[in-house]
Chain A
Amino acid sequence: MKVEQISIFLENRPGGLENVTKVLKDANINIRTLFLADTADFGILRLIVNDVDTAKKVLKENGFSVGRTTVVAVEVPDRPGGLHGILEVLSRSDITVEYMYAFVERSGENAVMIFRFDSTDAAIDVLLKNGITVLPGEKVYSL
């Protein structure tokens, strides 16, 4: 039920992001969604791609500092209070969200959010027990 995400350390400088997209383009990799966390000096680019293994390999070959992290894709009802309901469930169980971002594509009638939790397995457990849909990686990579 987990999704593999690639994290790349980037300095803040012109062309920094472009170097990443070029490498991915040349390897024919499709970016499904991305999220950039930035500070004054550096950023961390998080990517979900259609082919994690190849993406990681080519990025490494091109000298990037690449990490692989596990995140969770959750279906969020597309109506007022949809996200709130999910966060309520999580906070009741003492699960901390490290960060989250939205997925571009929808899953049926629902929006898709990507979550990074402090304890991934426990979070998935809580979500499933509360009847919330967690999307498997294979589905997310090809949404």
Chain B
Amino acid sequence: MSASSAEKYETHEHDVLIIGAGGAGLRAAIEALSRGASVGVVCKSLLGKAHTVMAEGGIAAAMANVDAADDWRAHFRDTMKGGKFLNDWRMAQIHAQESPERVRELEQWGALFDRTPDGDILQRAFGGHSFKRLCHVGDRTGLEMIRTLQDRGVQMGFDVYMECAVTRLLKDGDRVCGAFGYWREQGRFVVFKAKSVVIATGGIGKAWRITSNSWEYTGDGMALAYDAGAELQDMEFVQFHPTGMVWPPGVQGILVTEAVRGEGGVLRNRLGERFMERYDAKQMELSTRDVVARAIYTEVREGRGTEHGGAYLDISHKPAEYVKRKLPGMYHQFRELADVDITKGPMEVGPTCHYMMGGVRVDAETAAATVPGLFAAGEAAAGLHGANRLGGNSLSDLLVFGRRAGAAAAEHADRAAPASVDPGQLETAAGEMLVGFERPAGESPYALHRDLESTMEQYVGIFRNEADLTRGLEKLGELTGRAEGIRVEGSRLFNPGWHLARDLKSMLVVSEAVARSALARKESRGAHSRTDHPKSDPDWGRRNIVVKRGAGGMELAERPVPQPPAELQALLTEAT
């Protein structure tokens, strides 16, 4: 980097730069630190506020504390089956094998899980898991996890750049060697030089109107990686969680944990029918999320929905004290926001955009992206969950692959030669951030965001078809054009309108990747339901769709789904 650019912008240098401070980012940071790397963590919010705090039900790990018959093979099989065998088998194997140790590690760092009568970590049932497998703390498991990791990282001495957003990855030739961003507080630009960069930025839920995701979930990491030339994979697979709040309007989409069903909650329609009998008579309410979400959606569409367009979820047959102890967050959430006492009556619930199975295409062992120097873990990465994620597999994913990404990033940093960034990259990055202020007139970023949310909700939702997706892509094209004319009002000092204007760019890129991939996959599988291709096609079951930036725009390609070795294949054959 030239002297002039280093003078012009505040500059920090680390071996490993981690973008995102949720579970994956923090676990990566801890691992890289423990291997002697200097680590910087950049996050858009305050430390400890990342979306991981919203994870409620638990961490899936085959510890066999409650069901002695559980083991990694069963967890592997459940994960592959839930993902409709589109998963990267090696990631699923690593994940199932390593998650128990990652959970024990959390306990050794101070996390306090609920206990069995023998004094071990208690595990609960969850959809698609064939044994009681979710280690949990009531319904606030994510908070426990993030606080534990945060305190561990602080004690180990990472540098945290809070309320700082990355807008560009910096490159030296093909290789990623840093990032450019701005401080949300003062609006000043900042440059990070790093030998390895880990993307741990989570998902893209804010592109939909009804979502359980916070404002941060704007697909930044996926878009940054795409811009830097990396491949994204499985972008058509967006998980709609079956149970979000539906009433009152302001809380629409807020998550109602699957733990309600794990603890025995039942779903009924307006007529009082336990409708899951028609969709999955065996697993009922604890079927996989894709199935339950479609079931509720279908009940509502066919006129059997509740007053506010959802289904009833009822746990009030359990003793009130039990409900309050196991689901305290839900109890308070409904009492305070919806005037409903869940120990006495049912909740109204409906599907809400929740999770992105797709993301940056990575190597199973190292979490390395397809661009040198770049790594990705957690929701921002693809592969582990295939076409549908099981509840509880997200928190374990963060721990297992966060750790692996941190290790590989530190090792890469050890070997990497010094890099240099041409100052032109910095000027481009700064210029694109300032142009919105210079327009004398233009659109509000909020209006554009509302239109994006409606577009994705209407055309790229739970049920899809060619006509809708084509129309959705046209709309996204229009919105991308309109985004070029956004006007930013006010100053650079903590200006959410300005921040949203930048976040919209990421959302538009990732939304386009979702819509294009969804249009390409002419079958239904897991979370991807095409009304014009309602069946799964074995031929599509052998292909992952990848998205890459080409000279003329977004390019799609297919990659063969890696096939597991014979002994693992045998486990899967038993499952079908």
> Do these two chains really belong together in a complex?
no
